[in-house]
Structure formats: C-alpha cells, structure tokens
C-alpha cells in the first residue's frame, strides 16, 4: 500500500464553485504538497454560515481514513484577530478558524490535541492577503502539516475556544421538544432529537407522534419507501438523528419548515390522556 501513500486533504468552504477561490487554494496546496489527494467536502456552505459547515463537516469527516487533514474555511472573521486552530480528533487533523465550526465534530470524535497557531514560520517569506487566508494561510498550513510539521510546534493549546450554542432537546411535561437543525437537498428535516431519545423514551411505551409546524407524523418508519407516495414520515437517519421526510417529496415544503423550528415528540396516550 505504501506506493499509494497520498495524504488526503479535504476542503470545506463557503466559496462556491463559480469563483476562482477554491481553485486558487488547490493550486497552492499542490504547489506545496504535489502528492496531496484533495477531496472536496463541500463548497456550497451558504456564505458565512458556520453552523451549516459544522454540520456538513461532522457528517462527512468521520468516514475518512485516519490521518486525513480537513481544512475548513468558512471564516467571516478573516483577517481579524480570530485564531486559527489545529486539532486532532479521532486520529484526523482539522484546521479551522476559531469560530465554532468544530462544535459538532467535538461531540462525535475524541479530542486528542488542539493548538492555536502562533508560529507562522511555515509561511516563509510569502505575502499574506488579509482577505484570503484560505489560499495564503490555510493551504500552506495544511501542506506543511502534511509534509511533517508537528502541530505542537505551531503554538500552545488554547485555554478556551469557541463553540456554537446547540441546545439539547428539553422536556416539557411528557413532550420532548427539539429543533430542526438542518434541511438537506431532498427537503428532509434533520432534528436535534436523536435515536437514543426515541428508542429509550418513546418506543417502549406504545404509539407516539412527532409534530412540526402543525403537521403530525405517527411513529417511525425505517425507509422512505415504507410511506406512501408523497406521504410524510419520520425515521432515524443515517447519522442517528430523528428526521422528518416525505416519500418522493420535500418535507421542508410540505411542512413549511426551516432550521430553528420546533419539533415535538409525545406519546399518544399522553396527548389523549
């Protein structure tokens, strides 16, 4: 296998694919690390939406091989005094601005080391644009780390770092109240309620109902196809989260729902009782 020992460097940005920014980063990466296997995680993060990036990263990165380097440039604070962090989580490296984009990964993969970049010797004498650190700082940094620079040489472990506020579901009487956290391209509503909540607290106690924006779904299906054509359903998605969907339709349109909206789960006997 040694002959295929190409380092994997992934990119997650809000740069889109219409502009030269992603390609400029890739050029820089290949200039510094010609053997890099560059993989796009996502460039269609809506501009400046750190939470979207956090979600996408956390639902893709865990499937990559050990030693992969994940570079995240959703960075509205570029050029300000926000730090750049390099963290090792579950055997993989993450290079990201200190803006909370690591919030969800941190719940999924064990943190094994974190530094705040203070030593910029890896930049050599190159000029750094104050508005395009993706190309001028993140790419050379990823290449340097890929080429063997130890993260402990980059700077100290920060005393603290930013995390996004992602509230856990709460109980209101017998009702579990969570939120829609993500709407995917199929219009599926991914919620902050997870498999464990459902399996431990609702499944053993008979029928239950899930509601969002006035629309109601009873019980769980296993696959989309178990619901009728155009029929709403709930299931546990491939990441273990409660998801509202419509078979061959778009739940976000049917339910007129967006991220942030409330999702409630309650036993039927409780609702009726």
Binding residues for a second copy, per CB under 8 A? 1, 3-6, 8, 10, 15-21, 23-28, 30-31, 34-35, 37-45, 47-48, 55-65, 68, 76-80, 129-132, 135-136, 184-186, 222-226, 235, 237-238, 248
Q: Quick one: tokens of 120?
A: 């910029």
Our CB check for a second copy shows the closer of 44 and 256 to be 44
Contact, 49 vs 43, CB < 8 A?
no
Least distance (Å) from a second copy to the CB of residue 176?
22
For residue 146, what are the CA distances in angstroms to 21, 108, 121, 124? 21, 23, 15, 16
Helix (H) or strand (E) holding 178: strand 175-183
Least distance (Å) from a second copy to the CB of residue 144?
16
Our CB check for a second copy shows the closer of 158 and 249 to be 249
Q: What interhelical angle do 139-146 and 21-32 show, nearest 10?
A: 30
Q: Quick one: tokens of 184?
A: 């995917």
Our CB check for a second copy shows the closer of 10 and 192 to be 10
Least distance (Å) from a second copy to the CB of residue 80?
4
Q: Quick one: tokens of 129?
A: 């644009």
Least distance (Å) from a second copy to the CB of residue 152?
26
Our CB check for a second copy shows the closer of 59 and 266 to be 59
Least distance (Å) from a second copy to the CB of residue 9?
12
Contact, 9 vs 16, CB < 8 A?
no
Q: Which of 23, 2, 39, 252 is nearest to 132 (CA)?
A: 23
Give the CA angle between residues 100, 104, 106 to the nearest 5°.
90
Least distance (Å) from a second copy to the CB of residue 108?
12
Residue holding tokens 């992934």? 10
Our CB check for a second copy shows the closer of 1 and 170 to be 1
Our CB check for a second copy shows the closer of 44 and 172 to be 44
């Amino acid at each position: 296998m040694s002959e295929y020992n190409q380092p994997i460097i992934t990119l997650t940005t809000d740069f889109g694919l219409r502009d030269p920014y992603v390609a400029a980063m890739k050029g820089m990466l290949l200039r510094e690390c010609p053997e890099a296997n560059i993989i796009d995680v996502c460039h269609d993060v809506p501009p400046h939406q750190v939470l979207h990036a956090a979600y996408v990263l956390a639902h893709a990165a865990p499937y990559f091989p050990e030693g992969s380097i994940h570079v995240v440039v959703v960075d509205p604070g570029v050029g300000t005094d926000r730090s750049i962090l390099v963290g090792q989580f579950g055997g993989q490296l993450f290079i990201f601005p200190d803006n909370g984009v690591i919030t969800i990964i941190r719940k999924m993969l064990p943190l094994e080391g974190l530094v705040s970049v203070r030593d910029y010797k890896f930049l050599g004498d190159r000029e750094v644009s104050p508005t395009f650190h993706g190309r001028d700082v993140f790419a050379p940094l990823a290449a340097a780390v890929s080429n063997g620079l130890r993260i402990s040489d980059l700077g100290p472990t920060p005393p603290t770092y930013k995390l996004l506020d992602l509230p856990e579901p709460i109980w209101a009487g017998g009702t579990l109240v969570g939120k829609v956290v993500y709407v995917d391209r199929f219009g599926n509503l991914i919620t902050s309620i997870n498999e464990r909540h459902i399996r431990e607290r609702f499944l053993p106690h008979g029928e239950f109902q899930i509601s969002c924006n006035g629309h109601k779904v009873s019980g769980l299906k296993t696959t989309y196809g178990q619901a009728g054509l155009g029929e709403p359903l709930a299931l546990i998605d491939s990441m273990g989260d409660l998801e509202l969907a419509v078979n061959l339709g778009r739940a976000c349109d049917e339910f007129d729902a967006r991220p942030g909206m409330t999702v409630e789960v309650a036993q039927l006997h409780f609702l009726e009782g």
